[in-house]
Structure 1
């Protein structure tokens, strides 16, 4: 990512270019990203190809002012951070699903970021409802965040009895935990963006992927809550946890919500793909 592209990305976030790649600057960029760039899977239901290449992601997120899911959002955010002087590693994770079972390999992409102070942070702007701020990578105790209490812990056996694996240099896999519930199992071996192509393809085509079975567009609000449009259901969650849900009416109201709440202009209302189809 060149300087002009990085500046355009920063304008998308409403952020100034940091003078140095510090932990404080990363913390601000992380939160601005969650507030500004929606977590959304609309491309899957609009028939748009998911292309894990930097130019395509810049065209989508910065040029078209869209959002995306983990591979797109964390992949592009990692490129921005590298352009700003941070040391960035792309890490693969498997998400805990029903009954605590782990998902597919390359199920999720997260970022290990080293700041000028020398500490490593776990940045993740592509998991939907997750921590508002980066987590300390090496800290094994509780970490308090506006979104809950998080912990980065060495992984034990999963519920199916499979032992925790090892990452680069024999380092153990890690479990990222939120309010006592395991969110995903993180490998520590660095990956390249292209390594996640199969995972992105599976999530955008498989009838077993929750992304092909539902529509979601979500972002953090200025007061620390969250607003989510799932199909035609708009859910507003206050910072304290209180939820308000309402059903939207006609197509114009749905398109207006995408435009006014999420900054996404669409020509038509997306509809959920038939999960039995793979085209």
Structure 2
């Protein structure tokens, strides 16, 4: 991994002090420069959990990826910079029930205390969140990590109905990228997977987010949403304009 090339891709200068503030800058800039996307899944391009392949795709080809690729790479970058971090397995909350257990990969970074960090969950928190229940607020919403059991935690977002909505559940157990082999295969092939039913591409912006879902586009600016539809030809141009992806 070329650390300088990675930092250049996310528009961050290297700093010597491994502070919480620097970690937050790395996370925010990562989410604003590298999209979450499933274009390989929908085009039947096999994704294998090999970090060198992630790097070539994201850095060499200017692409994005889904959670294993983005958090797998980002965790390696944090390690190269000197942060103490590890991958964790999470179970995503659906509208009804839960997704397949432990099929989302996120990161724990240990500083003065453990922090949840995630650059591979689409529209979500853009800064490290402590596991203590303290709230964190950014342009995308208000978040906290609530402890549910002795060693289990929920990432939650405060919704428009004044309720804390759980996004996913996790433990602090250390995982390696290979621990997600089953989940990666499931998310690429199962009809129950969110990612096998159409293109999903999304990237954070300074004042909101832009998301492509199938042929539907949603752009959020300062809390205001604008939606429109595109044709297949227009989608190719949109991917280039907003996500810098050429397919």
TM-score (norm 1): 0.83
**Counterpart-to-counterpart distance in 2, 1:249 and 1:56:** 31
TM-aligned CA deviation for residue 250 of structure 1:
4.8
Contact 2:78/2:85 (<8 A) preserved:
yes
Aligned to 1:130: 124
1:228 maps onto 2:211 in alignment:
yes
**Counterpart-to-counterpart distance in 2, 1:51 and 1:11:** 25
CA deviation string 1:70-126 (max 9, x = no partner): 111111100000000000111101001132x122122211100123xx232211010
Aligned to 1:255: 236
Contact 1:20/1:85 (<8 A) preserved:
no
TM-aligned CA deviation for residue 153 of structure 1:
1.0
Instruction: Give the 3 Å change call, closer, same or farther, for CA 246–186 of structure 1 in structure 2.
Output: same
TM-aligned CA deviation for residue 146 of structure 1:
2.5
TM-aligned CA deviation for residue 187 of structure 1:
1.4
Unpaired runs of 5+ in structure 1?
Answer: 156-163, 165-170, 267-279
Aligned to 1:37: 34
TM-aligned CA deviation for residue 197 of structure 1:
1.1
SS of the equivalent of 2:174 reads: strand
Contact 2:217/2:230 (<8 A) preserved:
yes
Aligned to 2:161: none
1:109 maps onto 2:105 in alignment:
yes
**Counterpart-to-counterpart distance in 1, 2:135 and 2:172:** 20
1:198 maps onto 2:195 in alignment:
no
1:212 aligned to 183, 196, 215, which one? 196
Aligned to 1:86: 83
Unpaired runs of 5+ in structure 2?
Answer: 159-163
**Counterpart-to-counterpart distance in 2, 1:61 and 1:250:** 23
1:177 maps onto 2:173 in alignment:
no
1:68 maps onto 2:61 in alignment:
no
1:25 maps onto 2:22 in alignment:
yes
Q: Which runs of 4+ in 1 moved over 2 A?
A: 141-146
TM-aligned CA deviation for residue 214 of structure 1:
2.4
SS of the equivalent of 1:24 reads: helix
Aligned to 2:137: 144
**Counterpart-to-counterpart distance in 1, 2:232 and 2:90:** 39
**Counterpart-to-counterpart distance in 1, 2:15 and 2:60:** 22
**Counterpart-to-counterpart distance in 2, 1:121 and 1:239:** 27
- Alpha-carbon RMSD across the aligned residues, in angstroms, is 1.3
**Counterpart-to-counterpart distance in 1, 2:134 and 2:128:** 15
**Counterpart-to-counterpart distance in 1, 2:42 and 2:99:** 22
Q: How many residues are treated as equivalent by the alignment?
A: 242
